[in-house]
Amino acid sequence: MSIHLNAEPGQIAETVLLPGDPLRAKHIAETFLTDPVLHNTVRGMHGYTGTYKGQRVSVQGTGMGIASSMIYVSELITQYGCKNLIRVGTAGSYQENVHVRDIVLAQAACTDSNINNIRFGAKNFAPIADFELLMRAYQIARERGHTTHVGNIMSSDTFYHDDFDQYKIWADFGVLAVEMEAAGLYTLAAKHGVRALTVLTISDHLVTREETTAEERQLTFNAMIEIALDAALGE
């Protein structure tokens, strides 16, 4: 047991999918895992372990934002020995050619969070994905015919910015989309020598203001989960 997870030692698999929303953790467990067992109830942040294609895998909600998600990621790595951590989440597109329902694989993550200023002072750390996980996820997504973009993303501490147009600073430098957790996950993975990837589904568009219906989001979300699971477990 750790402060925020009440799973017993050994109850969490080495491979963990990490959605922000704990109810998505429940959906993933019930839809994709065989014999899922609920192992975390602390703060309602559901975590489950089951099997996928015969291999043990867990799914753990992280909450929204770097601050919340880093608590779960830290405890999963240091208290439960997790080694493959794959965030599966939604993101807002910064680029006209990155459409709603597209998949984005976060090769790297910029951030406006202070987490790495605390660590590195005026020097900048570049949080990046595990190359093997990234490569496998890309191959799987392309083979399945999903429109998939690989590149830099933004992990923001702020969902509602005072200046809506501030995203253009990042868009001008090719950043594909915004979410709120990947930079923290990649930093912790680097610190502890484990593997991490972020797989995203575009749910809304900051340039065109396109949106998806809940049903569409669900369908694309399921495709993203299958990409994440197959990439993590080596298909």
Ligand X SMILES: O=P(O)(O)O[C@H]1O[C@H](CO)[C@@H](O)[C@H]1O
Ligand Y SMILES: O=c1cc[nH]c(=O)[nH]1
**Least gap, CB of 130 to ligand X (angstroms):** 19
CB closer to ligand Y, 39 vs 205 = 205
Closest CB to ligand X among 116 and 157?
157
Which residue number, 15 or 212, has a Cβ lying nearer to ligand Y?
Answer: 212
214 phi/psi in degrees, rounded to 5: -60, -40
User: How many whole angstroms separate alpha carbon 5 and alpha carbon 18?
Assistant: 14
Report yes or no: 109 and 188 within 8 Å, Cβ to Cβ.
no
Nearest approach, Cβ of 111 to ligand X (angstroms)?
Answer: 12
List of residues contacting ligand Y (CB under 6 A): 90-92, 159, 178-180, 203-204
Nearer Cβ to ligand Y (175/180): 180
Query: Quick check: is 204 catalytic?
Result: yes
- Choose which of 14, 75, 130, 179 interacts with ligand X (CB under 6 A): 179
How many residues sit close enough to ligand X to count as binding (CB under 6 A)?
10
Q: Which does 181 bind (CB under 5 to 8 A by kind): ligand X, ligand Y, none?
A: ligand X
Shortest distance (Å) from residue 185 CB to ligand X: 11
CA 118 – CA 98 distance, rounded (Å): 33
Long-range CB contacts (within 8 A, 24+) of 161-167: 164/206, 167/94, 167/206
Residue range at the interface with ligand X (CB under 6 A); choices 6-14, 72-80, 173-181, 184-192 = 173-181
Q: What are phi and psi of 184, to 5 degrees?
A: -70, -45
Q: Which position among 35, 112, 204, 230 bears the catalytic label?
A: 204
Using CB atoms within 10 A of its CB, is residue 218 exposed (0-12), middle (13-18) or buried (19+)?
Answer: middle
Site string for ligand X, 82-101 (x = CB under 6 A): -------xx-----------
Q: Cα–Cα distance between 19 and 10 in angstroms, integer?
A: 21
Alpha-carbon distance of 235 to 171, in angstroms, equals 34
* Contact positions vs ligand X (CB under 6 A): 19-21, 64, 89-90, 159, 179-181
